[in-house]
Amino acid sequence: MSKLWGGRFTKETNQLVEEFTASIEFDQIMAKEDIAGSIAHATMLGECGIIEIDEAELIIEGLNKILKKVEKNEVQFSIENEDIHMNIESLLIEEIGPVGGKLHTGRSRNDQVATDMHLFLKNNTSSIIDFIEEVQNKIVIQAKKHVNTIMPGYTHLQRAQPVSFAHHLLAYFWMLERDKSRFKDSLKRVDISPLGAGALAGTTFPINRQRTAELLGFSDIYHNSLDAVSDRDFIVEFLSDSSLLMTHISRLSEEFVIWSSQEFQFIELDDAFCTGSSIMPQKKNPDVPELLRGKTGRVYGSLIGLLTVLKGLPLAYNKDMQEDKEGMFDTVYTVVGALQLLSGIIDTMKVNENRMYEAVKNDYSNATDLADYLVRKNIPFRQAHEIVGKTVLYAIENHKFLGELNLEEFKMINEVFEEDIYHTLNPKTVMEARISEGGTSTNEVWKQIMKAEECLSITTNMV
């Protein structure tokens, strides 16, 4: 079968060139978007009198038949037709005859592919926002169970101060809330129609771009035809937002790997999200969180790859831009899969409250409160810091924790210490003492949970 663009050529395309330049193996994913764009375009052509109404209706009828076959996986796409656009057009001509060739009037594959990608990302970005919210819901559910569960808070992976486990989990809620906000904001740049921009300069036919935008559910059109066919900022932005989302997923996954280790034993991951060893029968490996960490690099690679493709391109369309799709498709699948798995991990994990509390009791993470105690006794903080440092050193040398020192030992270090120091050093007291807004005290964590639920409720009501 000759190429749809083959009139100017006297030789068949080299087979290797055909295989190397074809994109149908991956852009067939956008078959439904391509058909939707074609139906809108055909509708507009008929309404504007560019083709006859009955021709437009025949084209639309043929496209709908192809759509049904696509949905049933009954279509065999051909590499000879290069991409999804020419495959659909060839199938249409086979279905309805030569009138199918009128579909391409007033448009180019350049604006067609851009339209497909806008539609694809618009739909999938909305889905990703929903999946983020599902993870947030699971975080809130676990947080409400563990407001009073005390665990060591860390800096430099060294025990720092006791915190509520709910407080720790909710930090990821707010990371995801920012991710969700970025994806929502990016929809403003996705929700723009390039259709009708032609190859680069528009078209000589009196088309109605606003009408096709309306039919496809876009809120606006590109106002410059060169920009319309060459813009891939919206994909870069999606990959950037996805990269940051995966960073947050990776950080939480790292926590799960650490917390579920024999050394920590803070949580136990459900068997459904772990695997075993082929040689060591006792092993229960946190493979899913580990792979979520690993997949993060894959998404970063797609972002850097597309930025590299775009950095030296003159206007308007260049074949290099065919490399914009695989990374976008792969990132959508990676992010959606990661969010679904993360939701399941959070929902099913078991929290070892006693183990966490034992860890907090057997460390020096209450030292800051010891310094604050001295400050309340009118000792300047810097001096208090030095006194507590010496107290910690004394305790370490004597193989004790701060709460195990007797009052005589405290008074030996400084006379201002009284019996109430033991209440101050209690992990529960230490946690509850963080009363500043956004702190880890019970009241503040409950306020945070209420705010989180309010955020989720607002989103739900908006939908």
Question: What are the tens digits of pLDDT across the range 219-274?
Answer: 999 999 999 999 999 999 999 999 999 999 999 999 999 999 999 999 999 999 99
12 or 385, which is more confident?
385
What's the rounded mean pLDDT across residues 266-284?
Answer: 91
Residue 370 contacts residue 423 (beta carbons within 8 Å): no
Contacts of 394 (CB under 8 A, 6+ apart): 405, 409, 413
Token pair in block for residue 405: 């020192």
What's the chain's average pLDDT?
A: 94
Active site residue 156: yes
Q: pLDDT confidence of 430, banded at 50, 70, 90?
A: very high
What's the rounded mean pLDDT across residues 8-37?
Answer: 77
What's the rounded mean pLDDT across residues 289-303?
Answer: 97
Question: What are the tens digits of pLDDT across the range 58-87?
Answer: 999 999 999 999 999 999 999 888 899 999
The model's pTM is 0.91
Query: What does residue 440 show for φ and ψ, rounded to 5 degrees?
Result: -100, 5
H or E, element range at 288? helix 287-310
Q: What is the reported pLDDT for 182?
A: 98
Residue 341 contacts residue 134 (beta carbons within 8 Å): no
Q: What is the reported pLDDT for 9?
A: 58
Token pair in block for residue 196: 């009708």
Token pair in block for residue 132: 């983020």
Which one is catalytic: 156, 278, 399, 436? Answer: 156
Report the C-alpha gap between 285 and 276 in whole angstroms.
Answer: 6
Report the C-alpha gap between 181 and 106 in whole angstroms.
Answer: 37
Q: Would the pLDDT of 194 be above 80?
A: yes
Q: What is the reported pLDDT for 300?
A: 98
CA distances from 161 to 132, 385, 437 (A): 29, 15, 17
Contacts of 102 (CB under 8 A, 6+ apart): 45, 51, 55, 59
Which one is catalytic: 219, 261, 277, 457? Answer: 277
Report the C-alpha gap between 174 and 168 in whole angstroms.
Answer: 11
Q: pLDDT confidence of 1, banded at 50, 70, 90?
A: very low
Active site residue 277: yes
CA-wise closest residue to 40 among 207, 275, 271? 207
Question: What are the tens digits of pLDDT across the range 388-400?
Answer: 999 999 999 999 9
Token pair in block for residue 192: 């723009």
What's the rounded mean pLDDT across residues 350-363?
Answer: 95
Q: What is the reported pLDDT for 21?
A: 57
Q: Would the pLDDT of 461 be above 80?
A: no
Identify residue 256 by its one-letter amino acid code.
F
